[in-house]
């Protein structure tokens, strides 16, 4: 038992549990959606069945975040081409504010009666070994949770989901790299209550492995592994990043020590003034790379932005610039990559290490290699039992390196196309703008969300 948490958790449950009226409104919307989908299915002449999946099917949804996930279950005899064609056509006919998404095959996401809704085609399977695509497992997940999650545990799932929302760790999508709804549900099945889960998770270490079955465990190189009880070859926690895992563990430890309502409902971030931002930066130096934002869905955009951050960081490191930290920000039109280098300027020369003095043949090869190189600024010399040669750096100014080399990097498919034509290296002073105040505040404010 976490001391003092009962009253807080009761308060949270009052705010997030659906009322009878809300349940009826959601159920009415789902019934109407089913009827419309069934009407469209009849036009295809195919034996497609309808299955509600996700949190509304399992009664684990939070009343302020309702998503309707409706799966169109096709027989395995239907071709992938026809599955996609009919699945997309039905979604496009029914949903408003729609967009086409992709999870091994396309599906439609949009709005229905005011609720975020996805209409997803999949194949009918009885076990994960029969799956033809990853989404085919989802109905099995719904069946598993409905079978194994006790009625009394639904409140614990809701608490856990709201807790993760509050600390910024909810969602397996690329933007968050956190906990999926299904992962939340099987964690509660595993640990029985929200409090027992928090008490246990505060002691987890990277590489923690969990399971609900006794099948042989495959190896996964992720901070948390939870073997899917319906597919023993899958890690349900595969989307969880190390950063999110670390935030989650820190939050669990802090909540166990001192539970507060702000873990579930943090205070909104109050942007600092530009004067406060400049004061917090002090003598630190930051450099920005500004790129056009590709017009692609977040699931594709965020992995590419992270790849761009890694590529630019590797470029800097290759040329001798030590990067202490990186951040990125995405707005409606642009992507900002923020670098915090140890220094933006380096000495003109660098000592290039050769072999130890005991390796005579290697020393001869080293001396031969650098004998006529125009970059040499000091003849080979011995230091600490090793041979060195001082050579001229290719770049001593970080801004110049970025200006000349970023467009040559592999930044991600869509970012590459835009970066070839347009990107800007931005000096720190130019980043001191009103529209980036929230970004700077998140970078510089060391407090966790629950500490604000």
Burial (CB < 10 A; 0-12, 13-18, 19+), residue 167, is buried
Q: What is the CB neighbour count within 10 angstroms for residue 27?
A: 11
In whole angstroms, what is the distance from residue 110 CA to residue 101 CA? 10
Give pLDDT tens digits for 175-208. 999 999 999 999 999 999 999 999 999 999 999 9
pLDDT grade, residue 1 (50/70/90)?
A: low
pLDDT at 286 over 90: yes
Count of residues making up the chain: 452
Mean pLDDT of 436-442: 96
Map tokens 């409706």 to a residue. 70
Q: Does residue 152 surpass a pLDDT of 90?
A: yes
Q: How far is Cα 445 from Cα 452, in angstroms, rounded to an integer?
A: 9
Q: For residue 160, give both structure tokens.
A: 């856990």
Confidence of residue 420 (pLDDT cuts 50, 70, 90): confident
CA distance 57 to 61: 9
| Backbone Cα Rg of the chain | 27
Q: What is d(CA 369, CA 354) in angstroms, rounded to the nearest whole number?
A: 11
Q: Residue 435, Cα to own-chain centre: how many angstroms? A: 24
Order the strands of the 231-235 sheet from edge to edge: 208-210, 224-228, 231-235
- Contact call for residues 193 and 155 (beta carbons, < 8 A): no
- Helix, strand, coil percentages for the chain (3-state, nearest 5): 45, 25, 30
Quick: pLDDT tens for 93-129: 999 999 888 766 789 999 999 999 999 999 998 888 8
How far, rounded to the nearest angstrom, does the alpha carbon of residue 89 sit from its chain's CA centroid?
30
At 70, phi and psi to the nearest 5?
-115, 125
Q: What is the pLDDT of residue 105?
A: 74
132: pLDDT strictly greater than 80: no
How many Cα atoms occupy the beta-carbon half-sphere of 21 within 13 Å? 0
Domains of the chain, earliest start first: 17-142 (3.30.460.10), 149-266 (1.10.1410.30), 274-345+396-451 (3.30.70.590), 349-392 (3.30.70)
pLDDT of residue 140: 95
Contact 425, 289 (CB under 8 A): yes
Q: Identify the burial level of 352 via C-beta atoms within 10 angstroms of its C-beta, where 0-12 means exposed, 13-18 middle and 19 or more buried.
A: middle
The pTM (predicted TM-score) of the whole model is 0.90
């Amino acid at each position: 038992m976490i001391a003092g948490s009962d009253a807080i958790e009761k308060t949270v449950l009052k705010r997030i549990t659906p009322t009878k009226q809300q349940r009826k409104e959601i159920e009415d919307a789902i019934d109407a959606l089913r009827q419309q989908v069934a009407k469209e299915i009849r036009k295809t002449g195919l034996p497609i069945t309808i299955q509600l999946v996700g949190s509304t099917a399992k009664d684990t949804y939070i009343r302020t975040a309702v998503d309707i996930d409706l799966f169109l279950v096709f027989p395995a005899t239907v071709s992938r081409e026809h599955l996609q064609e009919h699945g997309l056509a039905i979604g496009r006919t029914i949903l408003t504010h729609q967009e086409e998404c992709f999870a091994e095959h396309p599906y439609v996401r949009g709005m229905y009666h005011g609720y975020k809704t996805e209409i997803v085609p999949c194949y009918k399977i009885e076990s994960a070994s029969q799956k033809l695509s990853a989404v085919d497992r989802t109905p099995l997940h719904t069946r598993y949770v409905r079978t194994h999650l006790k009625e009394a545990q639904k409140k614990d799932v809701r608490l856990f989901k709201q807790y993760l929302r509050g600390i910024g760790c909810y969602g397996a999508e690329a933007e968050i790299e956190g906990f999926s709804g299904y992962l939340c549900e099987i964690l509660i099945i595993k640990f029985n209550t929200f409090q027992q889960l928090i008490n246990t998770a505060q002691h987890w270490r990277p590489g923690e492995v969990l399971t609900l079955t006794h099948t042989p465990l495959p190896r996964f190189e992720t901070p948390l592994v939870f073997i899917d009880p319906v597919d023993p070859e899958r890690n349900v926690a595969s989307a969880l990043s190390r950063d999110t895992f670390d935030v989650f563990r820190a939050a669990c430890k802090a909540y166990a020590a001192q539970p507060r309502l702000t873990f579930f409902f943090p205070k909104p971030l109050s942007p600092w003034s530009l004067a406060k931002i400049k004061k917090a930066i002090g003598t630190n130096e930051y450099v920005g790379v500004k790129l056009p934002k590709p017009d692609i869905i977040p699931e594709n955009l965020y992995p590419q932005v992270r790849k761009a951050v890694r590529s630019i960081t590797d470029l800097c490191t290759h040329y001798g610039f030590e990067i202490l930290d990186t951040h990125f920000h995405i707005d409606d039109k642009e992507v900002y990559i923020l670098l915090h280098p140890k220094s933006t300027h380096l000495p003109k020369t660098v000592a290039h290490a050769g072999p130890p003095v005991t390796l005579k043949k290697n020393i001869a090869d080293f001396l031969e290699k650098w004998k006529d190189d125009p970059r040499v600024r000091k003849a080979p010399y011995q230091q600490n039992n090793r041979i060195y040669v001082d050579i001229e750096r290719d770049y001593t100014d970080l801004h110049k390196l970025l200006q000349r080399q970023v467009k040559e990097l592999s930044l991600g498919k869509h970012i590459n196309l835009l970066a070839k034509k347009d990107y800007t290296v931005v000096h720190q002073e130019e980043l001191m703008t009103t529209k980036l105040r929230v970004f700077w505040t998140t970078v510089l404010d060391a407090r966790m969300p629950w500490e604000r």
